[in-house]
């Protein structure tokens, strides 16, 4: 089984049933996971920030870094894999924790989750499941053959989404 890793700002996609897509250490970042069950194609983005307007140069190099650039890029990549109607895709979200701001003033995690949802709605997509918020780091993987998602966190039992 090949493991395709999405670092911060990366998007990975596969239609190989032997592959697993994975991203590590989601704190305030959000993993956006899209899966087309009929074609067995999975995509995963590790989104770090809600808006690319202050760093457009970075957005052009790392399209998965921002919520507003990652969603259109994921849709484009899915089309390259033969998904002509993005309504054939389900979406799940993981991450968006409030890791460092105990008072909740900045709460980048919550802002990331809201921005991802806003940009999903532009494509008439919504998350069918999510594990977001809290104050824990998460690692997440998706099996391309089954669409099964596993979430790992320190001091918590491994779980499915």
Catalytic residue among 4, 26, 29, 108: 29
The answer to whether 19 and 83 have CB atoms below 8 angstroms apart is no
Nearest to 64 by CA among 21, 16, 126, 3: 21
Confirm whether 75 is a catalytic residue: no
CA distance 158 to 140: 10
127-132: strand order across its sheet: 11-14, 41-47, 30-36, 90-95, 127-132
Catalytic site residues? 29
């Amino acid at each position: 089984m090949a493991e395709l890793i999405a670092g911060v700002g990366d998007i990975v996609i596969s239609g190989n049933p032997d592959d697993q897509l994975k991203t590590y250490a989601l704190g305030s970042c959000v993993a956006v996971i899209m899966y087309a069950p009929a074609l067995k194609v999975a995509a995963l983005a590790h989104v770090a920030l809600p808006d690319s307007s202050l760093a457009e140069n970075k957005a052009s190099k790392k399209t998965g870094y921002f919520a507003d650039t990652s969603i259109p890029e994921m849709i484009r990549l899915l089309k390259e894999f033969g998904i002509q109607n993005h309504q054939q895709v389900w979406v799940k979200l993981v991450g968006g924790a409030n890791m460092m701001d105990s008072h909740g003033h900045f709460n980048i995690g919550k802002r990331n989750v809201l921005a991802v949802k806003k940009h999903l709605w532009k494509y008439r997509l919504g998350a069918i499941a999510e594990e977001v918020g809290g104050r824990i780091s998460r690692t997440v993987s998706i099996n391309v053959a089954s669409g099964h998602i596993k979430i790992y966190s320190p001091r918590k039992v491994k779980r499915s989404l």
